């Protein structure tokens, strides 16, 4: 259907890739000269893929790149290779979690070293808001589980001071479901979106991964 550039998942070399339609799916296929042939589902619905392709738009680039050599993604800051400024920034505020979920997108249960970004990390948010020509409008605090931090409300307040128009937390929702007070504090601090993960209503999709569900009792 069309060709593009992609990364070798083994060595991160930038390699040619093709997007093709096959058996009712959009497939991304690529071959790294040093490694092998890779093939993955890119979009599960070709109709939706073609619909979204109509809106494909390249921006004019970043006027004040932080990494200037264009060697993306190896020394990106963001660099001169980017067509737009950051749209949604993810800031991992901790890798602690109150769940050991086998299909966590951050693979938090596999972490052995606990990390928490220093607080207050204004420099990170300032860098995003300084991007030109369009300041980064949206930030999502992720982890780990961001509500494991006692100062998550303060972090949201800080984002509000930087005038992000969209402030999100990516959370498993456990602490929020048990504390209306925490919800109120986050809401008052300026949180716009609680971004939840949903994998199914039964254990089956999880057990198919070979893992088992484990919810903490407290």
Q: In this chain, which residue has its C-beta nearest to Zn ion?
A: 72
Contact 77, 66 (CB under 8 A): yes
**Of 36 and 50, CB closest to Zn ion:** 36
Compute the least distance from the CB of residue 15 to Zn ion, in Å.
Answer: 7
**Cβ contacts of residue 91 below 8 Å, gap of 6+?**
117, 121, 124, 125, 139, 140, 141, 142
**Of 12 and 196, CB closest to Zn ion:** 12
Compute the least distance from the CB of residue 6 to Zn ion, in Å.
Answer: 11
For Zn ion, the binding residues (CB under 5 A) are 8, 10-11, 32, 34-35, 72, 76, 78-79, 81
Q: In angstroms, what CA-CA distances link 12 with 32, 121, 150?
A: 9, 29, 37
Residue 81 Cα to chain centre, angstroms? 19
Pick the closest to residue 39 from 50, 51, 52, 26 (CA basis). 26
**Of 17 and 167, CB closest to Zn ion:** 17
Contact 70, 79 (CB under 8 A): yes
Compute the least distance from the CB of residue 134 to Zn ion, in Å.
Answer: 16
Q: In angstroms, what CA-CA distances link 32 with 16, 22, 39, 71, 191?
A: 8, 21, 11, 18, 43
Compute the least distance from the CB of residue 151 to Zn ion, in Å.
Answer: 30
**Of 37 and 198, CB closest to Zn ion:** 37
The beta strand positions in the chain, using DSSP E, are 2-7, 14-22, 25-31, 37-43, 88-92, 138-142, 166-171, 193-196
Rounded to the nearest 5°, which phi and psi values hold at 195? -100, 110
Compute the least distance from the CB of residue 7 to Zn ion, in Å.
Answer: 8
**Of 81 and 111, CB closest to Zn ion:** 81
**Of 10 and 22, CB closest to Zn ion:** 10
Compute the least distance from the CB of residue 101 to Zn ion, in Å.
Answer: 30
């Amino acid at each position: 259907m069309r060709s593009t550039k992609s990364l070798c998942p083994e060595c991160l070399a930038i390699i040619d890739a093709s997007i093709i339609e096959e058996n009712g799916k959009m497939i991304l296929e690529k071959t790294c000269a040093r490694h092998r042939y890779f093939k993955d589902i890119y979009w599960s619905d070709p109709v939706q893929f073609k619909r979204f392709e109509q809106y494909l738009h390249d921006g004019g680039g970043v006027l004040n790149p932080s990494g200037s050599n264009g060697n993306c993604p190896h020394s990106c800051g963001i660099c001169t290779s980017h067509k737009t400024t950051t749209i949604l920034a993810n800031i991992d505020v901790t890798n602690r979690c109150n769940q050991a979920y086998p299909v966590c997108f951050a693979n938090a249960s596999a972490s052995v070293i606990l990390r928490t970004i220093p607080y207050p990390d204004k420099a990170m948010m300032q860098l995003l808001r300084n991007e030109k020509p369009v300041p980064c409008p949206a930030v999502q605090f992720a982890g780990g589980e961001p509500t494991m931090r006692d100062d998550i409300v303060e972090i949201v307040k800080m984002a509000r001071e930087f005038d992000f128009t969209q402030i999100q937390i990516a959370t498993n929702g456990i602490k929020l479901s048990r504390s209306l007070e925490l919800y109120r504090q986050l809401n008052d601090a300026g949180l716009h979106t609680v971004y939840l993960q949903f994998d199914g209503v039964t254990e089956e999709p999880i057990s198919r991964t070979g893992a088992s569900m484990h919810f903490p009792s407290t």
